[in-house]
Structure formats: structure tokens, C-alpha cells
Amino acid sequence: MSILLSLIIYIFCYSISECVTQIYENTYFQGGDLSTVFTPSANYCQIVCTYHPTCLLFTYLPVTWTKDPAKRFSCYLKDSDTEMLPKADMEGAVSGHSLKQCNIKISACSPDVHIGLDMEGENYDVTVAESYQQCQKRCTNDDHCHFFTYASKIFHNASFREKCFLKHTRLGTPTSIRVLDEVVSGFSLKPCQLSEIDSFSPTGGIIFGNY
């Protein structure tokens, strides 16, 4: 059974449940852990949870998380038989629900770019580019690219200036994310149907459910 067909079945099954779009600031869901991935925003964490076959809830630790810097950008995917978990106060944490239960179009399209973040993965292709837009376009038109990082012309290491790093990982999400000045990172726009090659993927190559 294909991943897309499995997703459609899961979305249909969950559609009888209540759609909850509320976001809980300064809140951590306790228990129910399925896996942990790294995402550049709470919004993308919710996308990953929505596409994951069994994730119903998530907790995200943003860049402002200070208690343990190594856990910044962590996206905790969670499940619960009751579709809810105990909430604990945790300053800076962001929690929410999968959108599987919602009667809305679910898209993995993520056009936002993330200034000052280096989304890490396998750098399989490095080329010169005039802008991050050009770099993102190359990523979108490359079969293997999941996301990219572009170093600006004033990047501190001159040998990396105006370089476009196309990146790939086993699961399609970053292996880690770090704060880095004068870089811009973002995802392939294949899920946005903006690729010029015949390789449309609703998830951009992310292998949801194998975390």
C-alpha cells in the first residue's frame, strides 16, 4: 500500500473525530511519545504530525528555548487513545493537535524560508547561486533535494559565500537545526506543485510514519 493511500485512509478514519485547531502556548503534552524530529517552526511540526499515520498531538520547542539549547527545534510527535494528553506548564513550549480530524485540505507545502537557521542534512550538491530564491528553485527542481541552506555574500567564511547547499536525509526532515548568521534555509517546493520536473510529491519526499 502506498504512503499516499495510507494517508487517505487514516484521514478518512480520523475525520469522525473532533477537529481541534487550538494551539497551547507555554504548554507541554506529557507522555504519548512516538518519535522526535527537528523542524524550523511549530507550524511545520504540525504538518509532520498531520502526515504521520498515528500522530494526534505534538509539542515543539522553538529557538527561544533556553533550558537545554540542544533540544531547540525539537518536534515531539505524540499519540493518545483519548486524543488528548495531560498538559504541563513549560515556558516557551508550543503544543497542538494534528489536523487529520479537520475537513480541510492538508498540504505539506511550506514556502516559508528561515533566516539565520542552518537545517542540517547530507550536503550532496554545492553550487554558486545569486540568491536564496535561486537556491530554493534548484532544490525544487532536483529529485533528491528535501531542503536547502544558502550562505549570503557576507557570510563569515568567504569560501562559503553565495553557496547553495542542496540537502537530503533518510526521512526528509533535518537531522538537526542550528542558529547561524547570514544563512537562509527552506524546503523544496515540490509539494506546492512548483517543480519544473515531472516528480510531484504531496510530501516533498518526506517519509512520514517511519520515525
Residue 210 binned pLDDT confidence (cut-offs 50, 70, 90): low
For 202, the grid coordinates are 504531496
Model pLDDT, residue 199: 54
- Tens digits of residue pLDDT in 78-87: 999 999 999 9
pLDDT of residue 5 exceeding 60, the answer is: no
Give the least confident one: 42-46, 69-73, 93-97, 125-129: 69-73
Model pLDDT, residue 203: 59
- Tens digits of residue pLDDT in 14-56: 445 789 999 999 999 999 999 999 999 999 999 999 999 999 9
Model pLDDT, residue 14: 43
Q: Do domains 3-97 and 113-192 have the same CATH topology?
A: yes
Model pLDDT, residue 128: 98
Residue ranges per structural domain of the chain: 3-97, 113-192
Give the integer Cα–Cα distance in Å for 159 and 161.
Answer: 6
Q: How many residues does the chain have?
A: 211
Give the pairing of strands 57-60 and 87-97.
antiparallel
Residue 10 binned pLDDT confidence (cut-offs 50, 70, 90): very low
pTM of the full structure:
0.85
Mean confidence (pLDDT) of the chain: 89
Q: Could you say which of 1.25.40.10, 3.90.1490.10, 2.30.30.140, 3.50.4.10 is the CATH number of the domain covering 3-97?
A: 3.50.4.10
Model pLDDT, residue 67: 80
Give the integer Cα–Cα distance in Å for 155 and 164.
Answer: 12
Give the pairing of strands 176-187 and 147-151.
antiparallel
Mean pLDDT value of segment 161-176:
96
pLDDT of residue 168 exceeding 60, the answer is: yes
Contact residues for 8 (Cβ-Cβ < 8 A; gap 6+): none
pLDDT of residue 12 exceeding 90, the answer is: no
Give the integer Cα–Cα distance in Å for 205 and 168.
Answer: 9
Number of Cβ within 10 Å of residue 134's Cβ equals: 15
Any idea which architecture 113-192 has in CATH? 3-Layer(bba) Sandwich (3.50)
